[in-house]
C-alpha cells in the first residue's frame, strides 16, 4: 500500500508522542492506524501483549478485520477489542465476578419512570418528560465520574457541583436552571442507589462503576493489565467515561510508550464534544490532518464537501480537499410529487433492476438508509415478496458471501463502505427539520446531519437520494447541496431541476431539449416532432424517440410504446421522477443505461 505524504507522517511519528489523526470518512485514518501498528511490531520488536487496538462496537471491529486489515498474515491476530470486550477481559484476569446483572435502556427507563412518579407527588411542579430525564441521567453518567477517596455520597456531591456548572439545554425555553438540575440529580441519585443496592447495571452505570473501580486500583498499583501502546479508532464515538477508562490502562512510565487516536469530528453525535474533556484526549501532543479522499467517487466526494461547508449545523475546521479527478456516474436526486403512495417504491425497484441487470452491481453492493422506520418495514416486506434477500448491517458484515441488499434505519447507520448508497426518504421531519425548527431542535437536527453525512460518506461510486418536492430535508436545500453533482437518473447526464412538472408538458420538452444540446452534443435542428413521440432525434442512421408520460411508468405502457417504435434505434420514456432507455437490438428492445451522445 502506497501512503501519502501526510500518512507517512503518521507512521513516522516517533514513540513517546501521543498522536491525533484527524480527517473525514474516506481519508484513510483507520488504514494508516493499522499500518502504524504493523510498523510498531515489525521495526520496534514490540510485543503484541503490550498493544491494544480499541473500536467502538462489534460492527466496527468486524469491518476493521474484513475491509481494512492490510497487514501481513503474521500479524493477523491484532488485539482488536470493543470496550465491553476489554472490560470483560480485565474482569476475567482479576477473577472478579462483577457487573453480572445487566439491564436494557428500556428497563432503565421503567425504573426511572417509577422514581419520577414518586418524586412528582412531592414536587407537582416538576413537569419534565421521562425521556428528557433519562437523556440527562445518561449524559451525567457518560461524562461525570470524579476520582475521590471519600465515601460515594461525598463524591456524588462533588459531581453534582460539576453538573450544575455544565450548561444544559432545557426542553422548555432556554437552559436548565440550578433548581431543575438539582431535581434531576435527586432522581439520578435515587436510581444510582437502587442500581448499586440491587446490583444491576445499565450501560452507563456499568462504565461509570468500572471507572470508579480502576481509579482506586490505579492509585494502589493493582491494575491487572496495562498497555504501552494504545490505538483508538474514531474517538468521537466514545463517551468521556470510556476514554478515561482507556487512559488508565495506558502506561506512560517510559519513553517507549505511544498513543494514536483517530477522530472525525463531524460524526460526533455529541454536539458539545465532551470527549475532548477526557483524560486521554488531553494527553495529545501532536495532530496530523489527512485530507486526500480514497473512498468516494469524485461526485460523491463533492456532495460531502458541499454539505460540510454549507451546513450551519456543523462548522468543520479542516480543509477537506481531494486529489481525485476521475469521472464516474453522477449521483441522483429525485423529488417526488406524491401523486401516488407507491410511486417511490416503483422507481426504487426499477433502479434496482437497472443497477443489477445493466450496470454490473450485486445486491450486496447496495445500502439503503431509511429515515422512516415504517418505510423500512414496508419495503423489506416488498423485497421479500419479490424474492430479494434483505440483510441488516450486522448480517452484511458477518456474511459477505450472500448476495443480499442491506437495509438500515438512520439510527443504526455506521461507517461501512458500499458501492451504492440509497437514502430512501430524505424528507423534512424525517431527516433534519426545516429552517425554523432546526433552531428549536438543534440537537436533533445536529444528529440527523451526522446520519446524513455518514450515509453519503459510505458511498464509493454514487448515491441516490429521494425526497418530497413539497417538503425536502433541510440538508437538501440549494445552500447545502451543490446540484451540479446530481443528475435526473442513474447513468444520465440530465441536470437536476426540482421545479420540473410533468403536467407542464411544454416546459418538460424544453428541459429535455436543453439537456440534449448541452450535455449530449445535439443541435436544435436534430430535434424534431413525431406523431407518437414528443421528441424525435435524427442522428445519421440512428433515430431516438422520447416519450413523456403524465403518470408513472408501468409495464403495459412500456410495451405499448415499444410496439409503436419499431423503426427507432432507441426509445426513452420519461415520467416525473426518472426515465427508461431501450436500445433496438435485432428488432428487440433491450434495456440500456442511457442514449448515446452525438
pLDDT in tens, 77-86: 678 999 999 9
As a whole number of angstroms, the distance between CA 423 and CA 464 comes to 6
Shared domain for 425 and 311, answered yes or no, is: yes
Range scoring the smallest mean pLDDT among 148-162, 175-189, 326-340: 326-340
Shared domain for 11 and 122, answered yes or no, is: no
Is it the case that residue 267 has pLDDT exceeding 50?
Answer: yes
Task: Please give the residue range of the domain that contains residue 274.
Answer: 5-95+221-289
Is it the case that residue 1 has pLDDT exceeding 70?
Answer: no
Shared domain for 462 and 567, answered yes or no, is: no
Is it the case that residue 343 has pLDDT exceeding 60?
Answer: yes
At residue 324, the pLDDT reads 62
Q: What is the CA radius of gyration of the chain?
A: 28
Tell me the pLDDT tens digit for each residue of 393-425: 999 999 989 999 999 999 999 999 999 999 999
Determine, yes or no, domain membership for 209.
Answer: no
Shared domain for 313 and 399, answered yes or no, is: yes
Number of structural domains (the chain) is 4
Range scoring the smallest mean pLDDT among 130-134, 171-175, 248-252, 487-491: 171-175
At residue 541, the pLDDT reads 83
* Cα–Cα distance list, 268 to 154, 272, 279 (Å): 32, 9, 18
Question: Which range, 264-273, 334-343, 438-447, has the best average confidence (pLDDT)?
Answer: 264-273
As a whole number of angstroms, the distance between CA 448 and CA 430 comes to 9
Shared domain for 440 and 568, answered yes or no, is: no
Is it the case that residue 340 has pLDDT exceeding 80?
Answer: no
| CB-CB contact of 416 with 393 (8 Å) | yes
Mean pLDDT within 97-122: 90
Determine, yes or no, domain membership for 374.
Answer: yes
As a whole-number percent, the residues of the chain with pLDDT over 70 amount to: 96
Shared domain for 145 and 195, answered yes or no, is: yes
Give residue 70's pLDDT band: very low, low, confident or very high (50, 70, 90).
Answer: low
Is it the case that residue 64 has pLDDT exceeding 70?
Answer: yes
Mean pLDDT within 560-565: 90
Determine, yes or no, domain membership for 42.
Answer: yes
As a whole number of angstroms, the distance between CA 72 and CA 12 comes to 19
Determine, yes or no, domain membership for 206.
Answer: no
Mean pLDDT over all residues of the chain? Answer: 90
At residue 126, the pLDDT reads 85
Q: Which domain CATH number covers 278? A: 3.40.50.300
Among 231, 265, 289, the domain boundary falls at: 289
As a whole number of angstroms, the distance between CA 12 and CA 260 comes to 12
Shared domain for 56 and 123, answered yes or no, is: no
* Residue 313 or residue 538, greater confidence: 538
Is it the case that residue 379 has pLDDT exceeding 80?
Answer: yes
Among 289, 314, 341, the domain boundary falls at: 289
Q: C-alpha grid cell for residue 18?
A: 501521543
Q: C-alpha grid cell for residue 217?
A: 486500583
At residue 293, the pLDDT reads 87
Shared domain for 130 and 272, answered yes or no, is: no
Give residue 73's pLDDT band: very low, low, confident or very high (50, 70, 90).
Answer: very low
Amino acid at each position: 500500500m502506497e501512503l501519502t505524504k501526510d500518512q507517512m507522517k503518521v507512521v513516522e511519528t516517533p514513540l513517546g508522542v501521543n498522536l491525533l489523526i484527524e480527517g473525514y470518512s474516506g481519508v484513510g485514518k483507520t488504514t494508516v492506524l493499522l499500518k502504524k501498528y504493523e510498523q510498531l511490531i515489525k521495526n520496534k520488536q514490540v510485543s503484541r501483549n503490550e498493544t491494544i487496538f480499541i473500536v467502538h462496537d462489534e460492527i466496527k471491529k468486524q469491518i476493521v478485520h474484513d475491509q481494512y486489515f492490510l497487514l501481513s498474515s503474521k500479524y493477523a491476530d491484532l488485539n482488536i477489542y470493543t470496550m465491553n470486550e476489554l472490560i470483560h477481559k480485565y474482569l476475567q484476569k482479576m477473577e472478579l465476578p462483577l457487573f453480572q446483572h445487566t439491564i436494557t435502556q428500556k428497563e432503565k427507563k421503567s425504573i426511572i419512570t417509577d422514581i419520577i412518579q414518586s418524586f412528582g407527588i412531592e414536587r407537582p411542579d416538576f413537569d419534565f418528560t421521562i425521556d428528557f430525564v433519562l437523556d440527562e441521567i445518561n449524559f451525567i453518567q457518560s461524562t461525570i465520574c470524579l476520582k475521590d477517596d471519600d465515601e460515594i455520597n461525598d463524591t456524588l456531591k462533588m459531581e453534582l457541583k460539576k453538573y450544575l456548572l455544565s450548561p444544559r439545554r432545557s426542553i422548555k425555553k432556554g437552559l436548565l436552571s440550578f433548581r431543575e438540575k438539582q431535581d434531576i440529580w435527586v432522581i439520578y441519585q435515587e436510581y444510582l442507589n437502587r442500581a448499586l443496592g440491587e446490583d444491576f447495571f445499565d450501560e452507563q452505570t456499568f462504565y461509570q462503576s468500572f471507572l470508579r473501580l480502576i481509579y482506586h486500583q490505579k492509585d494502589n498499583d493493582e491494575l491487572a493489565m496495562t498497555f504501552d501502546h494504545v490505538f483508538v479508532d474514531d474517538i468521537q464515538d466514545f463517551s468521556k467515561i470510556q476514554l478515561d477508562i482507556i487512559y488508565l490502562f495506558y502506561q506512560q512510565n517510559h519513553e517507549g510508550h505511544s498513543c494514536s487516536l483517530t477522530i472525525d469530528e463531524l460524526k460526533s453525535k455529541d454536539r458539545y464534544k465532551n470527549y475532548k474533556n477526557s483524560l486521554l484526549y488531553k494527553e495529545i501532543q501532536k495532530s496530523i490532518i489527512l485530507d486526500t479522499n480514497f473512498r468516494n467517487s469524485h461526485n460523491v466526494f463533492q456532495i460531502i464537501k458541499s454539505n460540510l461547508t454549507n451546513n450551519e449545523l456543523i462548522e468543520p475546521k479542516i480543509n477537506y480537499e481531494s486529489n481525485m479527478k476521475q469521472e464516474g456516474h453522477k449521483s441522483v436526486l429525485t423529488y417526488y410529487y406524491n401523486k401516488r403512495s407507491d410511486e417511490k417504491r416503483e422507481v426504487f425497484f426499477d433502479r434496482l433492476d437497472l443497477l443489477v441487470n445493466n450496470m454490473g452491481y450485486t445486491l450486496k453492493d447496495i445500502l439503503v438508509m431509511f429515515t422512516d422506520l415504517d418505510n423500512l418495514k414496508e419495503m423489506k416486506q416488498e423485497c421479500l415478496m419479490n424474492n430479494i434477500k434483505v440483510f441488516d448491517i450486522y448480517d452484511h458484515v458477518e456474511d459477505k458471501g450472500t448476495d443480499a441488499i442491506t437495509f438500515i434505519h438512520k439510527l443504526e447507520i455506521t461507517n461501512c463502505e458500499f458501492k451504492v448508497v440509497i437514502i430512501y426518504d430524505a424528507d423534512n421531519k424525517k431527516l433534519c427539520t426545516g429552517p425554523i425548527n432546526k433552531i428549536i431542535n438543534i440537537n436533533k437536527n445536529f444528529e440527523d446531519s451526522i446520519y446524513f453525512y455518514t450515509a453519503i460518506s459510505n458511498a464509493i461510486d454514487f448515491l441516490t437520494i429521494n425526497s418530497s418536492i413539497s417538503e425536502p430535508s433541510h440538508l437538501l436545500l440549494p445552500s447545502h447541496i451543490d446540484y451540479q453533482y446530481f443528475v435526473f437518473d442513474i447513468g444520465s447526464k440530465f441536470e437536476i431541476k426540482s421545479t420540473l412538472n410533468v403536467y407542464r408538458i411544454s416546459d418538460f420538452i424544453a428541459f429535455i431539449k436543453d439537456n440534449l444540446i448541452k450535455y449530449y452534443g445535439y443541435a436544435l435542428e436534430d430535434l424534431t416532432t413525431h406523431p407518437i413521440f414528443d421528441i424525435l432525434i435524427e442522428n445519421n442512421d440512428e433515430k431516438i424517440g422520447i416519450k413523456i408520460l403524465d403518470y408513472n411508468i408501468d409495464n403495459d405502457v412500456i410495451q405499448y410504446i415499444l410496439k409503436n417504435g419499431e423503426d427507432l434505434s432507441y426509445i426513452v420514456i420519461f415520467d416525473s421522477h426518472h426515465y427508461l432507455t431501450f436500445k433496438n437490438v435485432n428488432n428487440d428492445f433491450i434495456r440500456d443505461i442511457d442514449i448515446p451522445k452525438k
